[in-house]
Amino acid sequence: MNLARHSITATNPIQIFDTRFEADCQIFTTTTPAGFAVYQTWPLKLIRKREFTGGTLAAVVPCHTSSLLFLLGGGRSPLYPPNKVVVWDDAAGEEVAELEFRERVRGLACRRGWLAVSFRRRLVLFEVGETIVRRNEFDTCDNPRGLLAMATGAYSTLLAFPGRQMGHVQLVHLPPCIPPSPVGPPPSVPPSRPPPPPSKHPVSIIAAHESSLNTLTVPPSGRMLATTSSRGTLVRIWDTLSGKLIRVFRRGSDKAEIYGVAFRPDEKEVCVWSDKGTVHVFSLMSGPSNRHSSLSPLASLIPYFDSEWSYAQYRIPAQASHISLSSSTSSSRPSTADVTDEEKCMVGWIEAPSDRSEPGRDPPMEYQLIALTYSGGWYRLSLPQGTSNISSPSTGGTPLSSSPPRASSHSRPRTNSVSSITSRTDKGKERERDRDRKDNRELILQEYRKYGRWDGWG
């Protein structure tokens, strides 16, 4: 009997073109060859689906939790030309407007009352109401990714997009975002009031990186800006009012493509994910939460050792595309067998009940992460034990987590030989990688499900 290795390939694998959260991560949209669907983020639930037979979509951009969606055609047989943005009312199940341009649309961002459309070298701004009115146009540097970011919180004003020079970010302030209309009985907490106007004029340009930008992210308030470059090693956090650099986080020592950055709703943490298949979590609070290099005394000579590293991470398991039948037993299979490429994913923050509550008491709400992979995986991840991630309106300055084990930071006698220091750089980086494995705490997988098919999943 021939027991040679065989492969069984799925006859109907999940194929997802695009998936994205709305501003508050309460819902997300996913685009497949069959059409698109809208899901409740947590608990995972299929809200509605739309199937099309005339072509495929590249993306479906939700506008908060309203029924208004912005559709982009794409794929081998696009449903709409790539130079069009179609406004779709999902409550009525029909197109209500379309915007046609002279070139391919690269990116979209929206909030209540406003829509921004990015192209290769420009950005066009629209006001969305009973009618859609073109309000402004801005020139940008070469922007093939269509990068732009818009603050979506109540009374926020910020719109960020690449400037005219490579690595620069231009900041534009729009009219304040209208808060959502209350639904149901009056809330017990009084509605938030508009913030006072800034005492000085906010900056309009931030020289963020020397190389080309890879991602732009702002929190709902628009008070900060997260930028990454094509090098994929650093995440820089900026104050959008003063333009000052607040923090610099290091994702890793090797080059990577960072897919995205997401601020926690209370702006105390950020998560970063890349093509390395890992989700990193960094603290924005003052304190020893993030890991630092044991060679930080050498930071004045080698800036690499002055970096802040994530205090927690999670590796998204790669989904095997087939089942292997081999004559060898699983115990004799090497750990590197059937290694598949890492998955592309999208990550967002939610509030969910904690599983670490005391008996007899209602579990407190805490911040958790939802990771959506392009092969249909839905992961709910909680922060490690010992971190202060309880959902609270307080924005105090206490550290978010207990300090992980760190090497002693006592001062060391410096040598006058710079060459001897630089010769130890590679050894220092190897030591950092070993320390990553020891000190870094894993995010906890709370739940795993599948999404992306119309056959009952979700």
Residue found by looking up tokens 């609270």 in the block: 392
Q: What percent of the chain has pLDDT over 90?
A: 60
Neighbours of 76 (CB within 10 A): 7
pLDDT in tens, 345-365: 999 999 999 887 777 788 899
Q: How far is CA 258 from CA 226, 252, 331, 332, in A?
A: 12, 11, 35, 35
- Asked if 351 and 367 count as a contact pair (C-beta separation under 8 A), the reply is yes
Q: How far is CA 382 from the centre of its chain?
A: 16
* Region 367-382 average pLDDT: 96
The reported pLDDT for the residue numbered 395 is 39
Q: Where is average pLDDT lowest: 49-58, 132-141, 299-308?
A: 299-308
Does pLDDT of 270 surpass 90? yes
The reported pLDDT for the residue numbered 412 is 35
* Region 264-281 average pLDDT: 95
How sure is the predictor about 328, in pLDDT bands with cuts at 50, 70 and 90? very low
* Region 55-68 average pLDDT: 95
How sure is the predictor about 261, in pLDDT bands with cuts at 50, 70 and 90? very high
Give the mean pLDDT of the chain. 81
How sure is the predictor about 15, in pLDDT bands with cuts at 50, 70 and 90? confident
Of residues 408 and 50, which shows the higher confidence score?
50
Q: What percent of the chain has pLDDT over 70?
A: 74
The reported pLDDT for the residue numbered 457 is 45
H/E element holding 109? strand 107-111
Q: Where is average pLDDT lowest: 132-136, 186-190, 286-290, 316-320?
A: 186-190
The reported pLDDT for the residue numbered 420 is 40
pLDDT in tens, 130-180: 999 999 999 999 999 999 999 999 999 999 999 999 999 999 999 999 888
Q: Where is average pLDDT lowest: 7-11, 199-203, 453-457?
A: 7-11
**How far is the C-alpha of 47 from the C-alpha of 44, rounded, in Å?**
9
The reported pLDDT for the residue numbered 39 is 96
pLDDT in tens, 84-138: 999 999 999 999 999 999 999 999 999 999 999 999 999 999 999 999 999 999 9
**How far is the C-alpha of 349 from the C-alpha of 271, rounded, in Å?**
9
pLDDT in tens, 383-440: 997 666 666 544 333 333 333 333 333 333 333 433 443 444 455 445 545 554 445 5
Q: Where is average pLDDT lowest: 68-77, 170-179, 212-221, 358-367?
A: 358-367
Q: Which residues contact 158 (CB under 8 A, 6 or more apart)?
A: 149, 150, 151, 171, 172, 173, 174, 218, 222, 225, 240
**How far is the C-alpha of 173 from the C-alpha of 223, rounded, in Å?**
12
The reported pLDDT for the residue numbered 458 is 39
* Region 42-64 average pLDDT: 94
3-state helix vs strand vs coil in the chain, percent to 5: 5, 40, 55
Does pLDDT of 286 surpass 80? no
Neighbouring-strand partners of residue 69: 62, 88
The reported pLDDT for the residue numbered 440 is 54
**How far is the C-alpha of 86 from the C-alpha of 78, rounded, in Å?**
13
Q: Where is average pLDDT lowest: 182-196, 256-270, 289-303, 372-386?
A: 289-303
Neighbouring-strand partners of residue 172: 159
